[in-house]
Amino acid sequence: MKRTFFHLFILITILSSLYCFVPLKKDTGFLRVDQNGRYFVFDDGTPYIPIGFNKFRLYLDDEPAIDSLLNLWSSYGVNYLRVWMGGGSEPEFPVGTFNEERMKRIDYIISKCEEYGIYLSLCFWDENTLRTDVSYGWNSERMAYNKSIDPGGTTDNPEDLKGVEHTRSWEAINNRYKVFVDRWNGHKNIMMWDLANDCKKTYAWKAQIYELVREWDPNDHIIGFQYYTGRDPKGEMDCGSVRVYDYNPEGNDPEEMTKALFDRVQEALQHGDPVYCGEGRMHYAQGTPYELERFYLHTLWGPIATGAAGNLHAWVCRTTEGRWPDYSLQELQWMKQYSAFCQTIDWAAFNSKNMNDAVSSINENVLTYACGDENQMLLYLVHDDPEHRFEPVSTILKIAAGPEKPPTRINWIDIRTGKVIKSMEIRSFPAEVEVPAFRDGIFAHLK
């Protein structure tokens, strides 16, 4: 009997010991802009960089499908999603009345994302619904604000919803936004209130709605909105958003689109706010699978080397009509490898500045991008092959300045495997570095 009790005591002790070491989910607080105005950080100082994409109609899936997708994506390193309230004015129809089924679906998405460690940008409004040239726009059957669609609408002119002068429309939008903020402001996995997609609002609208949302939200979530293609964010809110969309000077060229995106990131960073990348699209019907692949990989790895806080939300279409997004397991695997690298950076301590002027390639067809501070640099090289053959290319990289305390280790990373393929030591700057042969893009980290 004593031996039985002794064995039971030992078993309980072992189980208790194991139980004590079960990691508890840490409460890191809400997300903020970091002290350097470059990246994002939790209240407790834990750094965060959004890795993910735009799944704007996730609310259309049923709950088992949502759970399955979030489980899959989180297992591939996704920690961020951008989700809309609806494609049009729904879930508000008529004006001032909110569909509880839709609202509960958003509740479910938020709670499941919290379970899987995914942070959300909740988009309150799509500006494209004010267009008259698309079926889902101003004249769609679900546009509650259009008086000709519903007698309770606010106006017969969609332009009235872009400013503050039309009192009925402005008050209705205020009510809409307050309903959303009141309902969801307590959730710590909401990264951002995204006030408008493809924003074409007046400066007065943006300034006043910002102050109102800030007033309504006791938890001071980050506030932003997504600008339409080509617009400079101008530091109007807590962070800037840039995008690239069917950029077509010479066809849907991945390298031209990459250059356009990186230029917009650098332009936006001048205003002193974090810049995250929004939507980006390249149609499968307009290019080869390899062009699509290059676009995806350039805009996955390249933005952080230009100073952006995260990857582009690439829309990779595999059919002529497109889906958003339609990620293959290979594309998710690339994202997982990128995510693993991002975990090695203390983004809250990285006071990055543009360093394009400090790096150059002796090969004129290799474009160079860089950002860094006194401790580290991120580099991205793009092979802009004028013949579009993309045979492996080698070059010498000239680095005029780098981290302040050499020696510095430079790791060259394969964008398809996430693995270091070459590592070397730099003892002083300026330096000339031999770049490993690469086909289309290569990433480097100096530390």
What CATH number has the domain bearing residue 228?
A: 3.20.20.80
Based on the domain organization, do 357 and 342 belong to the same domain? no
Based on the domain organization, do 100 and 166 belong to the same domain? yes
Based on the domain organization, do 309 and 388 belong to the same domain? no
pLDDT for the residue numbered 325:
62
Domain limits at 374?
353-446
Residue ranges in 119-227 assigned as alpha helix (H): 167-184, 203-216
* Pairing of the two strands 240-245 and 47-48: unpaired
349, 384, 404 - which closes a domain: 349
Which of 63, 193, 69 shows the shortest CA–CA distance to 119? 193
Task: Calculate the CA 416 to chain-centre distance.
Answer: 20
- Return d(Cα 115, Cα 231) in angstroms, integer: 35
Domain membership flag for residue 145: yes
Based on the domain organization, do 397 and 339 belong to the same domain? no
Based on the domain organization, do 319 and 375 belong to the same domain? no
Based on the domain organization, do 244 and 371 belong to the same domain? no
pLDDT for the residue numbered 258:
94
Based on the domain organization, do 334 and 385 belong to the same domain? no
- List CB contacts of 145: < 8 A, sequence separation 6 or more: 89, 95, 153, 154, 155, 158, 161, 169, 172
pLDDT for the residue numbered 20:
35
- Return d(Cα 108, Cα 256) in angstroms, integer: 40
pLDDT for the residue numbered 12:
41
Domain membership flag for residue 236: yes
**Domain with 398 in it: what CATH number?**
2.60.40.1180
Number of domains in the chain: 2
Which of 348, 275, 278, 339 shows the shortest CA–CA distance to 117? 339
Sheet holding 119-123, edge to edge: 52-54, 80-84, 119-123, 190-194, 222-224
pLDDT for the residue numbered 323:
55
331, 349, 367 - which closes a domain: 349
pLDDT for the residue numbered 216:
98
Q: Centre a 10 Å sphere on the Cβ of residue 442 and count the other Cβ atoms it contains.
A: 24
Based on the domain organization, do 291 and 427 belong to the same domain? no
pLDDT for the residue numbered 49:
97
Domain membership flag for residue 175: yes
Domain membership flag for residue 367: yes
Q: What tokens appear for 250 in the block?
A: 């010479």
Based on the domain organization, do 398 and 307 belong to the same domain? no
330, 349, 368 - which closes a domain: 349
Based on the domain organization, do 320 and 399 belong to the same domain? no
Tens of pLDDT along the chain (447 residues)? 444 444 544 444 433 334 333 334 689 999 999 999 999 999 999 999 999 999 988 999 999 999 999 999 999 999 999 999 987 788 999 999 999 999 999 999 999 999 999 999 999 999 999 999 998 899 999 899 999 999 999 999 999 999 999 999 999 999 999 999 999 999 999 999 999 998 999 999 999 999 999 999 999 999 998 877 777 888 889 999 998 886 655 567 899 999 999 999 999 999 999 999 998 887 666 678 899 899 999 999 999 999 999 999 987 655 555 555 678 899 999 999 999 999 999 999 999 999 999 999 999 999 999 999 999 999 999 999 999 999 999 999 999 999 988 899 999 999 999 999 999 999 999 999 999 999 999 999 999
Based on the domain organization, do 228 and 344 belong to the same domain? yes
Domain membership flag for residue 18: no
N- to C-terminal Cα separation, the chain: 63
Based on the domain organization, do 291 and 368 belong to the same domain? no
* 94: preceding bond cis by omega (within 30 degrees): yes
